[in-house]
Amino acid sequence: MTKFNEEASPRASGDALAKLGMPRVIAGMWRVREWGMSASELVDFIHGCIDRGVTAFDHADIYGRGAVESLFGEALELDPSLRGKIQIISKAGIRFPSSSTGGVKYYDSSSGYLREACEESLKRLKTDHLDLFLIHRPDSLSSTDDIARAAQTLMEQGKIRAFGVSNFSTRHFELLHAKTSLATNQIEFSPFEPGALDSAMFESLAQANVSPMIWSPLGGGRLFSETDEVARRVRDVMTELQHKHGASNWLAIAYAWIFRLPCVPYVISGSRRIESIQTALDGLKIDLSRQDWYAILEAARGQPVP
């Protein structure tokens, strides 16, 4: 299979994710345990992604309570040559109560915990560094100075190559970015979750020369719903655009809609099917017009652009 070669924009060539060698489509690992893959099957999946130029894999310490990272680590043990060909992303900062003491789920972005969580991820993944380490969700009790110290320490120790955040608001991102360089903000975005358009998130990231990393680009599967009127409306428009642009299928249009944003977004695909990974890549080749793009937004909102 020939590796997909995207035509990088001028800004994409300078952003932190591009400097890490990350492709615009990233393979999401959060459902790996649901997929029922063995370590050897995961090795084959990783090779299939690499063959198509998808070399980055997104993790979090809470996916499967660490089991997803452990399985990925087993795959890397089976084929040690893989590590030098890929980029590994992981997140930390969400803590669950212990079975013995109880309590509630909470967020922890303290310096000590972030360093500890990174160490544990490295052990499970059987690697000596993460290419990108993210805070999973903003912690109301965190100190930006404390977080910055943790990031600096981990980078100086060579345990991470870059640091970023996930699910941060525009203001939270700006405050932390002023203290330590952030490589990305991993956020939810789709026609059903367009909040980043109204919060100035994309503009703030572009001003900082930082690209967003988009999770749930297909609305968490909502696009496939047969009973959701909004989903049907959006699908109908995407199908029309599929024929207009000669796309492989209407899902490629869903990805093209996100890639059309000027902030040079990176997209996480959460599918085990290599064909679905390829569909996301196909979206990079489709140049939607402004009218095309706004037609999808109008279908999602159910009303014309004001």
Give catalytic residues, as residue numbers. Answer: 63
Cα(211)–Cα(268) distance, integer angstroms: 13
**Residue indicated by tokens 């490629």:** 252
* Cα of 111 vs its chain's centroid, Å: 23
Nearest to 296 by CA among 285, 304, 287: 304
